[in-house]
Structure 1
Amino acid sequence: MASQIESHRASAEIVNGDAICRKKSIELLEELGLPKGLLPLEDIEEFGYNRDTGFMWMVQRKKKIEHTFKKIKQTVSYAGEVTASQC
């Protein structure tokens, strides 16, 4: 995954620190019409979004977290690095 991130860094908007990373990720989710709670990550170290390629990433301190979406009673896990790309 790191190599994927590295190849998108050049023209990406990158922020560091949990508070600003959470804010930017929620803004992006809203902009894309996705639910704000889709990425309930913890202790986010870095958020990056390359608008030119549609690639985004988030790096959290923990290697993996689990989260239960109560409304749908579904538990999911997120890796330490979460990446996504618009098709």
Structure 2
Amino acid sequence: MSIVREEMKGKAEVYHGDELCQEKSKQILKEVGLPNGLLPLKDIEECGILRETGFVWIKQKKSTTHKFEKIGKLVSYANEVTAIVEKNKIKKLTGVKTKELLVWVSLSDIYVDEPPSGKISFQTPTGLFRTFPVSAFQVQDHVKEV
């Protein structure tokens, strides 16, 4: 069941299609000061942002798992990911889990320390957190040929 309601969509910027949603999700991450490779999702059907509250959502066709090679971490993304974004932070994150030892752990908050520290922290609902280099989540922007 989706937590994104139709009345929210009426007030939000809503985008459809994988290519446009990939571009918009990276743009939103950049706007709030987070690395653009944080959400490596596939086959995105819809994404949106309610600017007055910072509520964002991304719906993909099916859940996906991604390994961040630079830190050797496996992350699972549900078919719907939601969060509240603000400067250098993602709060109330849903739909994202990371594998720690043999257990999948939900993530609730992501925040970047004030530059130039180069550190990003991931927090669970219980308050436990891990910190990594921001560079592990940064991807090169593809330049479109004209």
TM-score in terms of structure 1 length:
0.91
Structure showing greater Rg: 2
Instruction: Give the letter for the 2:70 counterpart.
Output: K
Q: How many positions carry a matched residue from both structures? A: 85
Structure 1: which 5+ runs fail to align? Answer: none
Whole-angstrom distance in 2 between the partners of 1:38 and 1:61: 18
Q: Does 1:56 align with 2:73?
A: no
Between the two structures, name the one with larger relative contact order (CA 8 Å, sep ≥ 6): 1
**Would you identify which runs of 4 or more consecutive aligned residues in structure 1 move more than 6 Å?**
none
Structure 1 vs Structure 2 CA RMSD: 1.2
Shift of 1:5: 0.9
Q: Which has the higher helix share?
A: 1
Identity of matched residues, %: 49
Shift of 1:53: 1.3
Q: Does 1:24 align with 2:24?
A: yes
SS for the counterpart of 1:28 is helix
Whole-angstrom distance in 1 between the partners of 2:23 and 2:75: 22
TM-score in terms of structure 2 length:
0.56
